[in-house]
Structure 1
Amino acid sequence: MDLFDYAQRKALEREGPLAFRLRPQNLEEFAGQEHLVAPGSLLYNALQMDKPFSAIFYGPPGTGKTTLAGIIAGATQGVFIQIDATSTGVGELRKVLQEARDRLKYHNQRTILFIDEIHRFNKAQQDVLLPAVEQGVVILIGATTENPYFTVNSPLLSRVRVLPFYPLKDEDLQKILRRALSDRERGLGKMRIQVAPEAEEHWLRVAGGDARVLLNALETAVHLSKPGADGVY
């Protein structure tokens, strides 16, 4: 990440959408997917030992796939590179993989390559990626909302673990909502907000297990509200 990217990210953390600002930065802040991140789980143990493995995160939007990839990046000693399958051609992918090889060869530094929407990679792109994953040049983390058993080539699929992500439970969404209302630095904690029980029930129902939808609904409601004489929204 260069200076411009760092400055841009910091600006978004201050002024960006609530869902972006509140994105968990560690496993303690992460809500849901206990089967993946609970103490003693495979992924939890891998992070504790700094031994990440190649995986494909498969599940619906707003369930923490990109967020967990970022947490893995922050918890390991490797270089984290993120690309989007919709905008990365074969040439750019080859360049990323060559840089990863050089990093490993000259600096003994591994690369964690996160590919969003990996199901959009065609066969040629997946074929380019395969040797780097097979040889350990990169640790691949792919995110997809599509069933990888139908969209990812069998040779590549056999070299990664497919980790399912499920819609968030109401208690997970409530945890996220409480954090949004109490966090004074990245959330809405500096505002005096009271949420009516019926409003919370409505948001949980509309969210449908998607944290992003929940936080967008909360943020919209706050922006369209005016504080009372006592300063409470």
Structure 2
Amino acid sequence: MILWGPPGTGKTTLAYVVSKATNKRFVELSAITAGVKEVRAVIEGARRATGGYGKETVLFLDEIHRFSKAQQDSLLPAVENRWVTLIAATTENPYFSIISPLLSRSLLLTLEPLTDDDLLALITRALSDERGLGGAVTLAEDAQAHLLRIAGGDARRALTALEAAAGAALATHEQEISLQTVESTVDRAAVKYDRDGDQHYDVASALIKSIRGSDVDAALHYLARMIEAGEDPRFIARRLMISASEDIGLADLTALPTAVAAAQAVAMIGFPEAALTLSHATIALALAPKSNAATLAIGAAQEDVRKGLAGPVPAHLRDGHYKGAAKLGHAQGYVYPHDVPGGIAAQQYAPDAVRDKRYYTPTRYGAEARYADVVDRVRERLGRTGSADGAAGDKGPA
């Protein structure tokens, strides 16, 4: 069994419950500190226990995503031969971090963060139960709300914060844990993702999609999460530069220069001041008019090239700067656009295979509205009669 979920959702507890309910030995290893040698020792001990006195073993392997492919491979014989009941825990997406042979032999269970009601029941029990604080202190209502908020669905974090706050209250002979006490003992909520884990990509994706959706507040929230997680500011800046071309393009000609300038500034100043620059760029991109016309245009052109719609370059466009080019007909008949009134020479530019293809379909949003008029006039001058192949760009604020 593989238990996949965020910290503090009971993965270790569930494994222990399984071992007690099935009357099996419980052995716990952490992939952070254990290696193949330790795993093999546990497996050999499990075989002896089964053969010697009929006691089967539950092997709980925490943070299995920390194991390399070779280390995960070492578990397969024990799983296949049922020498152990393997219960592995991970906070990372198992489809990315666990080898397919092990994944295919396992039941995958996804654990969700605990709700506020779940955490409230846990905190209430911890305050009153003799195994916890035994009624020594109570918790003010606003302090309780703050505790639930900073826990973020993590039971371990909630109990740790409660224990620290209770210790501070008892040290000063307070009967009730106040909001001020909780705030002073718990500086800030731990960031909700490991910047080396799969949530790194989830939060980065949410940032870009919020910018694309013009939700500036959501974009700033995800930016703050990345900053607080210690994300590399250059990574964030790269994502913003991509967004500027992918989702805004010609609708706002300042978007890409703003993102590039932000990337250059971030590289020079670093955190914490880089947060200001990233905020500046994020707000500008989120509120900019949106167009994915440039993205669709290059995608359609690349698709045709992959299909073989290329063909030879028209002879009059070929390089004519070498001896013998004229004899081959290269660059002959080329009309220099600067010599033509209006600067548009009515001649064929594209290969025959894609002569009438239209890849760029501008939107009517922001600055791109001007290009929508220009491109129609240019195509008419060039004698381009083909129909548009690209789809219209994403809609956004005008």
Q: What TM-score do the two structures reach when normalised by structure 2?
A: 0.42
Which residue pairs with 2:55 in the alignment? 109
Alpha-carbon displacement from aligned partner over 1:53-85 (angstroms, at most 9, x marks no partner):
xx1111000111111112222222111111111
> Mapping of 1:60-209 within 5 angstroms?
60-184=6-130, 186-191=131-136, 193-209=137-153
What percent identity do the matched residue pairs reach?
A: 52
SS of corresponding position for 2:138: coil
Q: 1:232 to 1:198 in 2, by over 3 A?
A: closer
Q: Which structure shows the higher strand fraction?
A: 1
| Structure 2 unaligned spans of 5+ | 178-398
Identify the residue that residue 59 of structure 1 maps to in structure 2: 5
RMSD, aligned CA: 1.5
Partner of 2:173: 227
Say whether the 8 Å CA contact 2:3–2:90 is kept in structure 1.
yes
How far residue 106 of structure 1 moved from its aligned partner, in angstroms, is 3.0
CA deviation profile, 1:123-182 (whole Å, cap 9, x unmatched): 111111101101111100001101111111100111111111111001000100110111
**More moved, 99-108 vs 136-145:** 99-108
For 2:166, give the aligned amino acid.
Answer: V
By how many angstroms is 1:190 displaced?
A: 4.2
Instruction: Indicate the larger mover: 210-219 or 158-167.
Output: 210-219
Q: Measure, in 2, the Cα distance between the counterparts of 1:223 and 1:87.
A: 31
Residue-pair matches, total:
175
- Cα displacement (A) at 1:232: 5.6
Q: Separation in 2 of the partners of 1:202 and 1:106?
A: 53
Q: Deviations over 1:20-39 (max 9, x none)?
A: xxxxxxxxxxxxxxxxxxxx
Q: Which runs of 5+ in 1 are unaligned?
A: 1-54
Q: Deviations over 1:83-130 (max 9, x none)?
A: 111222212222221221222233222111000111111111111110
Secondary structure at the counterpart of residue 88 of structure 1:
coil
Q: Does 1:213 align with 2:157?
A: yes
Distance 2:141 2:32 in 1: 41
Structure 1 residue matching 2:29: 3-state secondary structure: strand
Secondary structure of the residue aligned to 2:153 is coil
Point out the structure with the larger helix share. 2
Equivalent-residue separation in structure 1 for 2:87 and 2:24 (angstroms): 13
The structural deviation recorded for 1:217 is 1.7
- Alpha carbons of 1:92 and 1:232: their partners in 2 closer, same or farther (altered >3 Å)? closer
Structure of higher RCO (CA pairs closer than 8 Å, 6+ residues apart): 1
SS at match of 2:7: coil
**Inter-partner Cα distance in structure 2 for 1:210 and 1:222:** 18
Q: Report the AA paired with residue 141 of structure 1.
A: I
Distance, in Å, in 1 between the alignment partners of 2:67 and 2:2 is 13
Deviation at 1:219, TM superposition (A): 1.5
